[in-house]
A and B are shown apart, each in its own frame.
Chain A
Amino acid sequence: MSSRRELLGSVTRKALIYAGLAVMLALALAPIVWIFLISLKTDKDIIASVPRIVFTPTLENYKAILIGVKSAGGETARPEFVHYFLNSLIITSGAVLVSLLAGVPAAYALARFKIKLKENIAFTFLSFRFAPEIAVIIPIFVIYRSLGLYNTYVGMILVYQLVTLPLIIWLMRGYFEDIPESIEQAARLDGYSRFAIFRKICLPLVKPGLASTAILAFIFAWNNFIFGLVLGAKETFPVTVGMLGFISYESVLWGQMAAASMVTILPEIVIALFIQKYLVRGLSFGAVRG
């Protein structure tokens, strides 16, 4: 009897877990599905007072943002969206790359070396994330204006370090600390230099963690809005800011905006799916037996 009750209990528990997951999934995906549907609708369908579930899908919105609409003169100008999208790619990839180059060795040093005030240094990096960006944006703006970094890719990549660098340093530090120190000591006894150990032994071991950390940093940077808005202009706007262009005095181009949103989240989805294996392993890393 008791085993049957247990079975029943476990079935109920499983059902509850799945119900909870279903609710979370619906909450997370519903807006995306909604936007996806909007992106396939004509303007008329979008503003229909009873939202239409059944409609004739159209790719006009995607065409408009990716290829451009014919102007009255018959020319098709290069759509701004593509420009902003490329900006985002340049800034985000650049920021993640710089953060990896600087942050991974820093994380290793913080994990392994005996450095004076080590915890204070690590904490300083973390403190980059304490203040909301909006709180520090005015001084940064003033500095950028006087240094000539305003509205430049270099400036954007630099300021994005506030987003990506602390993340990479703190996550990678944990991965490095998870490597048993004796593995490195054994290599030292075999005559490997500190740098060779870092490159040949530690880096391959943290590769899954490195991949997941880089993706997280990429996503955070990709989604950033305020830095681009204040420190950039038309030439360097990332896609998040550029999308505001769909809102104008006369009208809001809902359909194009939705299509742009779909294209914008595409890189994140592709990257995440592509290295999902690493992502899962990376987040559950620390399982080096020892």
Chain B
Amino acid sequence: MAEVRLEGVRKEFLSGGKKVTAVRDVDLRCRDGEIMVFLGPSGCGKTTTMRLIAGLESASAGEIHIGERRVDGLEPGKRRVALAFENYALYPPLTVKENIVFPLRASMRSPAEIESRLSEIASLLEIDQVLERKPGQLGGGQQQMVSLARCLIRDADVYLMDEPLSHLDSDQRVKVRARLRALHDRTRRTMIYVTHDQLEGLALADRIAVMNGGQVQQVDTPDGVYSRPANTFVAGFVGEPPMNFLAGRLEGDGAAPSFLSEDGSLRLPIGPAPFSGPRTILPGQPVTLGIRPEHIRLAGGQPGDALEASVEVYESLGEEGVLEVRRGRNVLTLLTKPGLSLKRGQPVEIGPDVQKIILFDPRTGERL
């Protein structure tokens, strides 16, 4: 077990004669014994960053440390990292069992120990019934479990996993996710887990590194990423349905400021917000207001801070409903109870929780 440190790591490569920067000066510290999730859309550099740690790609600049050792420049086999590949990387002629113990053969463990580790991991990932089969006889989900087992069975300082559950059915994914988390709580191994699925990331991570455009946007706990997003990208990427953003400016004095949307149709008081950042807010300053769908309620006709709006679209999704409403030129999404009968154009009242409002700088996208 060891911590992983990236200092100014950069990865450039040529693609069709043009220089592309896949990873841009990433500074990152994954603590000893924690699960860090690299979360981001495809092409954000999360997998490349992980491959840099594994040594399958070489960094154009920067340093990578695992524990006390500087590993950039070392062969992948000398870095003491285990990696679960998204596309399985199983060896077709070998059986599932042989595939899993393959990395242990090199390490001269006793057969009894290999056997006991194998049975533990195989039952954890529910592949104990298929150990004698060849990978080609398994479905994608099972192959992925074999690949994951081959990673977990190793003795390594760091365990890297690249979308290891992406080929599983959704119920299976939730189950294995929980087991992975439980396994980690028991063993406290340092794990880095790459995913584009924010739910998976939020569920597994001790801390999340949200990435976009080859840069780390924010490193924080799942709760921190969710409730204190560093910028509009993180705010919009984490959360489903995504956060509402409204363009507008601030009015009023510092004591009781309020937000006025660009078209002037929507005014919201900004309370002494608990999330207000370190920067001072000036009256008249243009801002982007962010509020999550779950922080706007559909008011039942009571007075108060309720705003009038009209229904655009309503989707009843079983456990909850997703409602889009319009006020002036602003469209807001909110979560409601399921099974409501709402028609397009119907007037409704909505009550945003002003305590949960987050303000962003419209130029930089940073949280204010």
Contacts and interface: CB of A to CB of B under 8 A. Distances in A.
B77 A182 contact: no
Q: Assign chain A's interface to a size class.
A: 10 to 19
B135 A185 contact: no
B89 A182 contact: yes
B99 to A, nearest CB: 9
A166 B64 CA distance: 42
B136 to A, nearest CB: 5
A281 B91 CA distance: 18
A288 to B, nearest CB: 6
A189 interface: yes
B261 to A, nearest CB: 49
B83 A180 contact: no
B85 A289 contact: no
Interface in A206-241: none
A191 interface: yes
Interface string A176-208: 000010110110111111000000010011000
A183 to B, nearest CB: 5
Interface in B88-104: 88-93, 102-103
Contact of A191 (B78, B89, B90): B78
B112 interface: no
Contact of A182 (B85, B103, B106, B136): B85
A186 B106 contact: no
A139 interface: no
Given A182-B85, A190-B102, A288 B92 contact: yes
A187 to B, nearest CB: 8
B60 to A, nearest CB: 14
B150 interface: yes
A290 interface: yes
Contacts, number: 58
Nearest to B137: A289
A205 B93 contact: yes
A189 B162 CA distance: 14
B56 to A, nearest CB: 5
B87 A185 contact: no
Contacts of A290: 87-90
Contacts of A191: 77-78, 106
A205 B92 contact: yes
A183 B93 contact: no
A288 B90 CA distance: 10
Interface of A: 180, 182-183, 185-186, 188-193, 201, 204-205, 288-290
26 contacts: A182-B85, A182-B89, A183-B89, A183-B90, A185-B56, A185-B76, A185-B83, A186-B83, A188-B55, A188-B56, A188-B75, A189-B79, A189-B83, A190-B77, A190-B102, A190-B103, A190-B154, A191-B77, A191-B106, A192-B106, A193-B77, A205-B92, A205-B93, A288-B92, A289-B135, A290-B90
